[in-house]
Amino acid sequence: MFNVPSAVAAILIVLGLVHAVRVLLLSPRADVQLLLLFSFIPVRYDPTVLLQGVVPGGLAADVWTFVTYALIHGDITHLGLNAVWLLAFGTPVARRFGNGRFLVFLAATAAAGAAAHLATHAGEFVPMVGASAAISGCMAAAMRFAFQDGGPLARWRTPDMQSYRVPAAPLVAALSDPRILAFLAVWFGLNVLIGAGTLALPGAEAAVAWQAHIGGFLAGLLLFALFDPVGRPARRDGHGPGTDAGPH
C-alpha cells in the first residue's frame, strides 16, 4: 500500500478533491448544477423528452458524462469504499498495464457501466455517480492474470513486479478455472442480491446502480486483451503467438 502506482494515486487524489469541493466549497445550488453537468443522467438520451434546458451541457455533456460521473460520489462512505476497492484491484492492473493504458481502461469500463445503466434505466432523471463500474472492470482484468502461476495471488511471499507480468490466461481457459468461477459466482451473486434489495451496502441511501457494475465488469473481462501489453505465452510446438511473455 506504500508503493501505489502513480495513476492510482492520482485518481484517488482527484476523487478526494472533487468530493471536498462539493462538500466544503459549493453551495447546494452549485452542487446541483455540478451534478447536472457531470453525473450520468439517462434522460439526456431520451429523444421523446423535452428537457428545455433542464439538463445543461448539450452534446458535449452527452459525451463526457459517460466518464465524469465516475469522479463523483454520494458521500464519504461511498468514496471510502470505492477508494479501498480501487487500491485493491486497480493497483495490480495499473502495474501490469502502465499508467496511460490504465487510465484509458478506467474510462472505457466506466463508459461501459454507464451504457449498461442507460439500457436498463432509459428515461430516468435520477443521476448516477461513483467509480464502481470502473473498479468492477479492474476486478475482471485482475482476474485474468492474478491467479496464474507466478502471478500476484500465487506468490504470497516475496511478491515482485514480475508477478504482475505473467502471461494472462485465455478467456476460455480463465472461465474454466474453479477459482475464477467461484469469484464470478460470488461477485455476480452479490450484485443480484443488491439489485433485488436483499443486500444493502453501508452508506447506500440511494439505489445502487448494480447494472453499471455488471457492465463495467463485462467490459473489463472482454477488453482486457486489447489493453494488455504482456504477450501470450508461446505454445509448446514453437508456433505460439508470442515469445516475450515473461516467466511461466
| More reliable by pLDDT, 111 or 205 | 111
Classify 128 as helix, strand or coil: strand
pLDDT tens figures, 44-69: 888 776 555 568 888 899 999 999 99
Cell of 229: 501489453
The CATH code for residues 6-227 is 1.20.1540.10
**Has residue 195 got a pLDDT over 70?**
no
**Has residue 203 got a pLDDT over 50?**
no
Q: Structural domain boundaries of the chain?
A: 6-227
| Phi, psi dihedrals of residue 40, rounded to the nearest 5° | -95, 115
Confidence of residue 84 (pLDDT cuts 50, 70, 90): very high
* CB-based contact 93:102 (threshold 8 Å): yes
Query: Please, which residues have CB within 8 angstroms of residue 247's CB and are 6 or more apart in sequence?
Result: 150, 162, 166
String of DSSP letters for 81-125 = HHHHHIIIIIHHHHHHH-HHHHHHHHHHHHHHHHHHHHHHSTT--
Helix (H) or strand (E) holding 6: helix 6-20
pTM score of the predicted model? 0.84
Task: Provide the phi-psi class of 209: left if phi over 0, else alpha when psi is between -120 and 50, else beta.
Answer: beta
Query: Please, which residues have CB within 8 angstroms of residue 44's CB and are 6 or more apart in sequence?
Result: 51, 55, 61, 62, 65
Query: Please, which residues have CB within 8 angstroms of residue 41's CB and are 6 or more apart in sequence?
Result: 55, 65, 124, 125, 126, 127, 128
- pLDDT of 206 reads 54
